[in-house]
């Protein structure tokens, strides 16, 4: 089991902006988490919506081959972004001592590791691109991985904002970064830069986001090195960095395997399907991750507080994600056709399987956050390592047998058969009891199955328009699902609030 840094009363980086946190009081933590979660949801939704719009625009300009080359660079970038700060963001969030004592050492370590790892990837880019079956991706890898240098500069500052539940500042930074990404990527795509337009946009967005974070964190910029603090940081961070590195392999092994076996064009179709399957889990998962680690960290300090919070979190997460996954699978042809056009139709069968993977990954991500919050980062490593060991050979077999569809099927089988049971076992060994939760999942499952039936029936009755099918079938299925899952008193409150709002609008119009 991992060892957490110093156990001392939590201090926030800027009392003027931080939400009051009383570590011994669950409700105060919940209030702070709700405050952060609201901003996390807004930020995650806005950035995902903006990313969707950018992806649609680029899909109309670029080719599937361009997407495939970008996917190889993306795999490298995601890997280095997971490991290059050596777990120092999470260590900053979880630090129990004074932040100003550890910040100089953490800043020095984050920058040092970022520079070293970038140098390694600069040299390794050509063989990595060749191994992935796409040597032309070398410059894309080299450009995309420069974002780790920005991350090395901002890591401790991001951790300080998350620690004090100042998610609104990170949201603003991400929105500025998204704007810069679009402003660079779209013109370059129009001018014929191909996959490099993706990479340049990502780097521009990272630089702008980093500048806003540095200004928002209001932390003195100091370097230093304290051996005791460094030892504590590394004891917590290194197992986490290894776990996140394995997670990065887990998240991106399919790009390498699919690209090597099927080529860049097929990989482009696969990447598009993967991106679509990640929309909802990305919004919800990102929002949760911004508040889950500090929340579970505080709750784990008091025996008996963590398990009930985890049970509630998993139940809500399941109830929210299930209908989205079902509707995405049923309406996959309409989603791809309406947004991207008929030329991207090969992505449809892949999308139908990958939405299941997205749902499982959200639970696995929440599991890792729980383990980080509880200070047992080695358990997170075993979860990701077990999943990866099973996944890589399965992807090779699936891609060889049935191309990108076979790779997607392999992903789902390993997620359901290996990752999900392993996550449950590891949580139980970490002292988290999930037993009381299982009965609460029955109602969403039944509602989801009925919603799927309604979605299929309505889609078959409303004509050939993709947009009409999406609206009619999607709304019908969601209304049915909500009617079954949402408690009656909550539905009444929603109706009352909607009625009051409508009455207010009419009154203002009348006056």
DSSP conformation letters of 271-307? HHHHHHHTHHHHHHHHHHHHHHHHHHHHHTTSTTSHH
Residue among 365, 360, 359, 355 at smallest CA distance from 273: 355
Q: Is the pLDDT of residue 3 over 60?
A: no
Do the beta carbons of residue 97 and residue 5 sit within 8 Å?
A: yes
Predicted confidence band at 457 (pLDDT cuts at 50, 70, 90)? very high
pLDDT at res. 24: 46
Region 309-316 average pLDDT: 77
Region 465-473 average pLDDT: 91
What distance in Å separates the CA atoms of residue 179 and residue 74, rounded to the nearest whole number? Answer: 19
- 25 phi, psi to nearest 5 deg: -125, 115
- Give, as one character, the DSSP assignment of residue 417: I
pLDDT at res. 28: 56
Q: Is the pLDDT of residue 381 over 90?
A: no
Query: Does 54 reside within a domain?
Result: yes
pLDDT at res. 305: 61
pLDDT at res. 293: 56
Region 395-412 average pLDDT: 93
**More confidently predicted of 233 and 205:** 205
Query: Does 453 reside within a domain?
Result: no
Query: Does 120 reside within a domain?
Result: yes
- Give, as one character, the DSSP assignment of residue 465: -
pLDDT single digits (tens) 227-242: 887 887 777 777 767 7
Q: For tokens 């890589």, what's the residue?
A: 392
Q: Which segment, 137-146, 315-324, 429-438, is predicted with the most confidence on average?
A: 137-146
Predicted confidence band at 108 (pLDDT cuts at 50, 70, 90)? confident
Cα angle 397, 403, 406 (rounded to 5 degrees) comes to 55
What distance in Å separates the CA atoms of residue 496 and residue 359, rounded to the nearest whole number? Answer: 32
Q: Which residues contact 366 (CB under 8 A, 6 or more apart)?
A: 285, 288, 292, 313, 314, 317
Q: Is the pLDDT of residue 17 over 50?
A: no
Sign of CA dihedral 337, 343, 345, 350: negative
Predicted confidence band at 498 (pLDDT cuts at 50, 70, 90)? low
Q: Is the pLDDT of residue 119 over 70?
A: yes
Residue among 4, 57, 67 at smallest CA distance from 264: 67
Q: Is the pLDDT of residue 20 over 50?
A: no
Query: Does 457 reside within a domain?
Result: no
What distance in Å separates the CA atoms of residue 361 and residue 354, rounded to the nearest whole number? Answer: 10
Residue among 237, 293, 304, 303 at smallest CA distance from 3: 237
pLDDT single digits (tens) 298-312: 555 556 566 777 777
Number of structural domains, the chain?
1
Q: What range does the domain containing 260 cover?
A: 26-433
Region 323-335 average pLDDT: 91
Residue among 277, 127, 264 at smallest CA distance from 194: 264
Query: Does 81 reside within a domain?
Result: yes
Do the beta carbons of residue 213 and residue 154 sit within 8 Å?
A: yes
What distance in Å separates the CA atoms of residue 200 and residue 191, rounded to the nearest whole number? Answer: 13
Q: Tokens for 223?
A: 């370097």
Least reliable range by pLDDT among 57-71, 85-99, 181-195, 206-220: 85-99
Query: Does 293 reside within a domain?
Result: yes
pLDDT single digits (tens) 63-73: 888 888 888 88
Do the beta carbons of residue 77 and residue 145 sit within 8 Å?
A: yes
Return the biggest CA–CA distance within the chain.
Answer: 71
pLDDT at res. 18: 39
- C-alpha separations of 208 from 45, 137, 150, 358 in Å: 19, 25, 10, 29
Sign of CA dihedral 446, 431, 99, 148: negative
Region 420-424 average pLDDT: 88
Q: For tokens 């603003």, what's the residue?
A: 172
Q: Is the pLDDT of residue 14 over 60?
A: no
pLDDT at res. 409: 95
pLDDT at res. 504: 67
Q: Which residues contact 39 (CB under 8 A, 6 or more apart)?
A: 167, 168, 170, 171
Query: Does 8 reside within a domain?
Result: no
Query: Does 363 reside within a domain?
Result: yes
Do the beta carbons of residue 510 and residue 499 sit within 8 Å?
A: no
CB neighbours of residue 449 within 10 Å: 13
């Amino acid at each position: 089991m991992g060892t957490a840094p110093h156990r001392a009363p939590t201090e926030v980086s800027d009392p003027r902006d931080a939400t009051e946190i009383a570590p011994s009081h669950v409700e105060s933590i919940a209030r702070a988490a709700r405050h952060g979660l609201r901003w996390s949801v807004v930020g995650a939704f806005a950035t995902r919506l903006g990313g969707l719009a950018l992806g649609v625009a680029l899909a109309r300009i670029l080719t599937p081959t361009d997407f495939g080359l970008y996917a190889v660079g993306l795999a490298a970038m995601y890997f280095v972004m997971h490991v290059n700060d050596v777990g120092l963001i999470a260590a900053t969030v979880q630090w129990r001592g004074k932040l100003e004592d550890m910040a100089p050492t953490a800043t020095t370590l984050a920058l040092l590791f970022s520079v070293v790892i970038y140098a390694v990837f600069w040299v390794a880019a050509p063989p990595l691109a060749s191994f992935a079956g796409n040597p032309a991706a070398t410059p894309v890898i080299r450009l995309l991985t420069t974002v780790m240098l920005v991350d090395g500069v901002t890591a401790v500052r991001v951790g300080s904002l998350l620690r004090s539940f100042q998610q609104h500042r990170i949201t603003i930074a991400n929105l500025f970064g998204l704007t810069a990404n679009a402003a660079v990527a779209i013109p370059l795509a129009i001018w014929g830069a191909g996959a490099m337009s993706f990479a340049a946009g990502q780097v521009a967005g990272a630089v702008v986001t980093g500048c806003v974070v540095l200004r928002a964190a209001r932390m003195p910029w100091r370097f230093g090195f304290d051996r005791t603090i460094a030892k504590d940081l590394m004891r917590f961070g290194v197992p986490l960095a290894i776990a996140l590195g394995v997670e990065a392999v887990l998240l991106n092994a399919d790009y390498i395997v699919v690209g090597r076996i099927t080529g860049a064009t097929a990989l482009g179709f696969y990447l598009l399907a993967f991106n679509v399957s990640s929309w909802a889990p990305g919004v919800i998962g990102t929002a949760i991750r911004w508040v889950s680690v500090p929340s579970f960290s505080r709750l784990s300090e008091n025996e008996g507080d963590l398990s009930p919070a985890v049970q509630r979190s998993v139940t809500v997460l399941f109830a929210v994600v299930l209908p989205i996954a079902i509707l995405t699978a049923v309406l996959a042809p309409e989603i791809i056709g309406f947004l991207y056009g008929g030329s991207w139709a090969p992505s449809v069968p892949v999308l139908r399987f990958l939405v299941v993977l997205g749902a499982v990954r959200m639970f696995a991500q929440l599991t890792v956050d729980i383990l980080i919050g509880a200070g047992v980062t080695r358990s997170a490593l075993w979860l990701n390592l077990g999943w990866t060991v099973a996944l890589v050979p399965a992807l090779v077999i699936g891609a060889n047998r049935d191309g990108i569809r076979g790779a997607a099927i392999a992903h789902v089988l390993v997620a359901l058969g290996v990752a999900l049971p392993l996550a449950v076992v590891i949580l139980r060994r970490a002292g988290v009891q999930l037993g009381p939760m299982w009965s609460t999942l029955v109602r969403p499952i039944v509602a989801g199955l009925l919603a799927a039936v309604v979605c299929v029936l309505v889609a078959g009755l409303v004509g050939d328009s993709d947009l009409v099918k999406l609206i009619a079938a999607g709304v019908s299925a969601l209304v049915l699902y909500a009617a079954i899952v949402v408690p009656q008193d909550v539905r009444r409150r929603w109706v009352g609030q909607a009625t009051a709002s409508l009455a207010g609008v009419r009154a203002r119009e009348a006056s």
